[in-house]
């Protein structure tokens, strides 16, 4: 609850998460700094809770009937705090996965094409040189002709063609006869 308020007030400014993930790989000290940062944020939250508790004590002295509901109020407040923490942690994990997948996918998509072939996918990688790689999961008689036509077009003018197969079938062997 502290972090969103501080961000709204521009007291703290976060770097783009993709930059953080990319930098984290090359600078192991970032993890230590992040842990220290999180500790300070937790201490700030603790001081806010202590302050709110003192306010509650003051109000309770004036209105004794409130003490009858103190346990329920505490359970409710703790539930909300942990619920918001759970939501934030889930978003953090999602951002991290998205950032990692996007950086991998960005590099992968530059030169790679995915063809859905029914029972799996077929990939081909058109490298920035005279090589071409095909990774196949499953070709069938129904999808063979259009896929082979696309492959022939894409690997034109390539000197080296690599073929990686996960299922050795008679149809796949025909790739070598292109």
pLDDT tens-place string over residues 63-116: 888 888 888 888 998 899 888 888 888 887 787 777 666 554 555 555 566 665
Q: What is the mean pLDDT of residues 36-40?
A: 88
Reading phi first (left if > 0) and then psi (alpha if -120 to 50, else beta), residue 8 is in alpha
Give the chain's radius of gyration (CA, Å).
29
- pLDDT-wise least confident of 43-52, 110-119, 134-143: 110-119
Given pLDDT bands bounded at 50, 70 and 90, which one contains residue 173? very low
More confident residue, 97 or 42: 42
Q: How far apart are CA 161 and CA 37, in angstroms?
A: 50
Given pLDDT bands bounded at 50, 70 and 90, which one contains residue 51? very high
Q: Give the number of C-alpha atoms closer than 13 A to the C-alpha of residue 8, restricted to the C-beta side.
A: 5
Contact present, 134 and 164 (Cβ < 8 Å): yes
Can you give the pLDDT at residue 144?
A: 76
More confident residue, 118 or 32: 32
More confident residue, 25 or 53: 53
Cβ-count burial of 8 within 10 angstroms (0-12 exposed, 13-18 middle, 19+ buried)?
exposed
Q: What is the mean pLDDT of residues 40-63?
A: 88
Q: Give the global pTM.
A: 0.47
User: How many residues appear in the chain?
Assistant: 178
């Amino acid at each position: 609850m502290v972090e969103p308020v501080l961000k709204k007030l521009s007291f703290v400014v976060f770097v783009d998460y993709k930059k953080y993930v990319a930098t984290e790989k090359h600078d192991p000290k970032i993890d230590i700094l992040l842990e220290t940062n999180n500790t300070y944020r937790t201490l700030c939250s603790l001081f806010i809770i202590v302050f709110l508790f003192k306010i509650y004590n003051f109000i309770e002295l004036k209105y004794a009937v409130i003490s009858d509901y103190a346990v329920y109020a505490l359970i409710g407040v703790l539930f909300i705090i942990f619920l918001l923490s759970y939501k934030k942690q889930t978003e953090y994990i999602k951002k991290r996965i998205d950032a990692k997948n996007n950086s991998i996918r960005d590099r992968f998509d530059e030169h790679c094409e995915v063809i859905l072939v029914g029972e799996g996918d077929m990939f081909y990688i058109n490298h920035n040189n005279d090589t071409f790689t095909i990774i196949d999961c499953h070709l069938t008689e129904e999808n063979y002709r259009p896929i082979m036509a696309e492959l022939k077009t894409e690997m034109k003018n390539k000197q080296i063609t690599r073929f990686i197969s996960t299922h050795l079938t008679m149809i796949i062997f025909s790739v070598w006869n292109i």
